Amino acid sequence: MGRAHHKEFVFGAVAFSLLLQSFPLFAQETQAVGPQGALSSILSLSATESTKALAIVRQCDAPAARILSPMLMAAARKSLDSGDLDKSVFLYECAAAAAKESKDDALLAEAEYRLGTACLRSHDYHRAEESLLEGLRLSEKHKLAIGLINNLVTLGDLYIRLAKYGAAEQVSKQALARISGLPQRTPILYQYGEAMVCANLGRIVASNGEHTAALQHFSRAVELFEELDKKIGGYKSSALDNLISIGEVHYDLGDYRKALDYYGKVLLAAEERGYMNLLHAVLNDMGIVYMDQADFVKATQLFTRSLDTANKTSDREAATIATCNLGVSSERQGMYELAGQIFGDCLRLANQGARLDLTIPALEGLATVYRRKGQNKLALDYYDRALRTATELGDKSRQSELAWCKAGVYHDMGEYKTSIEFSERARSLADEIRKPNYSYLALTLIGKNYLALGQYEPARSALTQAIEKAEDIRNRVGGQEQQRAYFFERKIEPYYLMVDLLLRQKRPEEALEFAERARSRTLLDLIGGAKLDISRTMSREERAEGQKLEGQLRALNLQLFREHQQKDSDAIRINALTADLG
């Protein structure tokens, strides 16, 4: 789930004010008239009139240019904060040009860094990398420690967006080493650098399925950004951005309740404070959770709000992501023509941008539509294109998903052994990066293939594991209990495949038991929905006791299920567990 990130950068709050103190003359001496006149002329131009603006800069001599550059950077920062990204990039370009005229490399290093951050915000990743690398080179040359750290951590953010996780990890760790080695670091500058590094490292390890480490990094980033916000202000959105990341980790773990808890906190704060970039991101993430639980009405509402917000801020990437998710929602509801049109639009938008990863969901969506129409060759072609891109980017999550998709097509074609090969690949990757939902899907398909081949023992083994995964995920589904029932209906396939298997093995009693167990799970969730309103009138102690009993009920259900799966099941233990449930 990619999204645009909003990060405040360190010189905007503290270091830039120190920089300005070295230019006291432009507020007092007559020499400031030249730079002020140049500034006024440049501010009167539109963002497309860069040739005129650069000509005005070149008319300044070195001392005047040295004064003009930080004035332009201050104006650019105001445009950036107001959301006028084009104007901000335009003014930072002018600031960099003025710094070059001044022949002050320290000033130029700062201007290049700021230009890089603005280009990053406007999704011009090629220009962002060029400016940040130049800022890094100048900072290293002149031993500008803080400038060097700022460029490294921002390059880390850039490379993460481009899914270049190896490069991102390298520059982020370099920044952390530099921070740790600062002999006389100020608490604020150190905290900012560490917070940014933690946020980067959290996103990097999360991409590898290292969820515990990711939660630690993101939690530390939230803590540091909250402290910075209390001290100097301006960092609340960065703290909230990392809360979204924490929610995404819980989503990947299959804990939808915790994911929605974090998303809900961010949504309220983003609406209250007007953080539009965070608003479209969290709305999109919430939509994905509800879509996975088959609540398509709620999901569509959230994706549409996310798209509207992205369009208001002219964020093409965010709009592409929200639109693509609307396509997924349409496809899952069987509206294939509409879904195909949406995915085609998304692919065109993604190809116009710089993020290769955004082409993957569009290609996958088109492949899925072709599969639903029975056009398997086209489906495999598009899945292959998406899989090649995911492999090139090192995106194991997408690789797992796409391998499972290809396995599904081969199953449809009756090529069961090939389907098993791709399913096993999908399962291996899912287990490696700890994605229980992908693992469940792959195991179910493995069991389905072995059943089609008449190989009952491996079929039973795979389906048993798939059911265990489904039970575990079911217990962590978020939203209302009604949605848990809908969710479980979508996870019912391995139960009925097991029923089919047992009937083929002439074991009708066990088959009936599995069928009843599947029905009872959905019924239990629906009954849980009826209890939801009652809990509002309960005391805190009563609610705690209710949660304890609910946990015990889940544990007993799981024990009973596992006992039934034993080759030599203990009838006495089964009766005892059944009595405890009753």
Secondary structure string (H, E, C) spanning 109-134 = HHHHHHHHHHHHHCCCHHHHHHHHHH
What is the three-class DSSP state of 9?
A: coil
Note whether residue 112 is domain-resident: yes
Q: Residues 147-202: pLDDT tens digits?
A: 999 999 999 999 988 878 889 999 999 998 888 877 666 667 778 888 999 999 99
Last residue of a domain, one of 119, 142, 165: 142
Boundary-marking domain end, from 142, 174, 199: 142
Give the pLDDT confidence score for residue 402 in this predicted structure: 95
Query: Which residue positions in the chain have pLDDT lower than 70?
Result: 1-33, 183-187, 354, 473-491, 518-582
Query: What's the confidence (pLDDT) of residue 568?
Result: 52
Tell me whether residue 121 is in a domain. Answer: yes
Residue 406 lies in a domain: yes
Query: In terms of C-beta density within 10 A (0-12 exposed, 13-18 middle, 19 or more buried), how is residue 264 classed?
Result: middle
* Residue 473 falls inside a structural domain: yes
Residue numbers of the domain that contains 511: 395-537
At 315 the pLDDT is 84
**DSSP 8-state code for residue 343:** H
Residue-level pLDDT at 16: 41
Asked if residue 191 lies in contact with residue 213, where contact means CB atoms within 8 angstroms, the answer is: no
Domain assignment present for residue 312? The answer is no
Whole-number pLDDT of residue 164 = 82
Distance of CA 134 to the CA centre of its chain: 29
Residue tagged 């995911």 (tokens): 390
**In angstroms, rounded to a whole number, what is the distance separating the alpha carbons of residues 77 and 85?**
10
Residue 546 has a pLDDT of 54
* Secondary structure (DSSP) of 353-395: SS-GGGHHHHHHHHHHHHHHTT-HHHHHHHHHHHHHHHHHHT-
Q: Does residue 371 lie within any of the structural domains?
A: no
CATH number, domain containing residue 58 = 1.25.40
Would you say residue 332 lies in a domain? no
CATH of the domain at 475: 1.25.40.10
pLDDT at 382: 97
Give residue 118's pLDDT.
93
How many structural domains are present in the chain?
A: 2
Per residue in 258-270, pLDDT (tens digit) is 999 999 999 999 9
Separation of alpha carbons 487 and 477, rounded Å: 8
CA distance 405 to 426: 9
Spatial distance between the Cα atoms of 158 and 391, rounded to a whole number of angstroms? 19
CB contact set of 473 (below 8 Å; sequence gap of 6+): 254, 436, 437, 440, 491
Flag whether 82 is in a domain: yes
Alpha carbon distance 253, 288 (integer Å): 14
Q: Which of 537, 555, 570 is the last residue of a domain?
A: 537
